[in-house]
Structure 1
């Protein structure tokens, strides 16, 4: 069974989707998938708790079961994204190199764009080679806000 639940956050509404065992999707707008129940399951509740801690600057790493759906290459990129340290940014080329193909920057960008679990799988930490905040499914303002959360001085 699939579940979804939405809440307001400091960056606007987020909708989290999950099955019985893992988070499958986070969206910047409410998603109602066919044959899904609107219910805050324990996994979804845990995800919102960890996101609240993140937004408050209290959490630097997420500890959630994840089950993103994608191609082998996309999953490889998403795994690399999770290795980008909190508060740091990498270029698309750096991610491509970490994936094993320095010339795959454009493919990395497409995998980033299809990341079904943003924030937790931190695609917002990927920027242009020139330092520009380029492309983000939630919009550049949300990307900027997430990077500001991570760069607040204590």
Structure 2
């Protein structure tokens, strides 16, 4: 009970801090530059926050099939979230879209799915800064756990995400 109440208090404090720190700015776009290993949260044309990211273990090129360890490229939606993710917390990217599915079907493969923005794998949060030095995911976008808590607070479901090469 005490642990749950402490967790709720921390979430409330993060939410209050984020609102104060960013003047209540609404994040209306998440932009990822894969080659720069950078993710930005934008409100209009203003960058609200920027993060160093880790990507899939084979980061060059658009995700084409399940298991290719690539992070997709293009415009998607952040459509749902998982507070009990195997990687701290996670926000789902709407990959695959209709075009991705058609391309995979033409190759006779599954496009895959479950592409997320997430923190460190549970139990390894203390490694957060080290994990940002390498591309280690299966195609997801990884940040540290404290950064994921901040993103969780600032980004709402339905926010577009643009992922560039």
Q: Pick the structure with more strand per residue.
A: 2
The structure with the largest alpha-carbon Rg is 2
Tell me: higher relative CO, structure 1 or 2? Use CA pairs within 8 A at least 6 residues apart: 2
- TM-score tier after normalising by the smaller chain length: under 0.3
Q: Pick the structure with more helix per residue.
A: 1
Q: TM-score, normalised by structure 2?
A: 0.25
